[in-house]
Amino acid sequence: MKPLPFPLPLRIGTDIVHTPRISRLLNRADYLTRFTRRILDPQEQADFTTRFKETLALHGTSTNPPITADMTRWLAGRFAAKEAARKAAPEGAAEIGWKDVVVRAQGGIGNKEDKSSIPEIVYWPEGRSGNPGSVGRLSISHDGEYAFATVLAWTGDVHSHSHPQLKGKEEKGKEKKHKGPKMEDNEDPGK
C-alpha cells in the first residue's frame, strides 16, 4: 500500500551561509555595490542604505566604504533568506531569480531602531505591476560565523479555491474539490 501524500501544498527551503565568506567577497574592491545590486531588489537596496546610512555617509561617493561586521551579518542573512526562498519556491530555485524574492519586514523596514518587525518573503511574479505577490514565512538566525534561514512557502495556486485565504469564496453551484484523505470535524489531525 502506498503511503498517503503530504496533504498541504507547502515547501520548505533552508540555507546556511558562512559569514566570513560574505566578508571576503564584500572586501574586494568595488564589490559591495556589485553584490547589493545583484542580490537585492530596489526596496531592499533602500533598506540597506537606510540601515547603514551612517557608515555609508562617512565615505560619500566612495565605492569602497568600510565593511562592518553588522553590514556583513545583515547581507549574509539576506543571502541565506533569498537562497532558502528560492529552494522553497513553487517553480524551484532554477526558475526564480534573486530579485524575484524580496525580504521585507512586517511593520517596518527592520532597521536598528525597529526590533518589533518580523521578516517575511514575498514572491513576485513576472511583471509585478498590479500583482500583489505571494508571501512566504521566513525565519533568519545568526550564530557565531553563520547565518541560517528557513522559508515555508505555499506552492498551490494562490488563485485557486484551495488557498486558505480564499476558502469559502467558491462560485455558487460548484463543489469544492478536496485532495487528500477526508477528516471528520472532531478528528485529531495528529492521529
Tens of pLDDT, residue by residue over 161-190, are 455 554 544 443 344 444 444 444 444 444
Distance CA 137, CA 153 (A): 7
What is the rounded radius of gyration, in angstroms, for the C-alpha atoms of the chain? 20
Q: What gap in Å lies between CA 16 and CA 12, rounded to an integer? A: 14
Residue 108, CA distances (Å) to 32, 80, 81, 159 in order: 24, 20, 18, 27
Q: What is the pLDDT along the chain (191 residues), one digit of tens a residue?
A: 999 988 899 999 999 999 999 999 999 888 898 999 999 999 999 999 999 988 888 766 666 778 899 999 999 999 999 999 999 987 777 788 898 999 998 754 444 445 567 889 998 866 566 667 789 999 999 999 999 999 999 887 655 545 555 454 444 334 444 444 444 444 444 44
Q: Domains, the chain, ranges and CATH?
A: 10-166 (3.90.470.20)
Q: Is 86 helix (H, G, I), strand (E, B) or coil?
A: helix
Q: Classify the C-alpha dihedral 126-128-133-139 as positive or negative.
A: positive
Kindly report the pTM of this predicted structure.
Answer: 0.74
pLDDT in tens, 95-112: 888 989 999 987 544 444
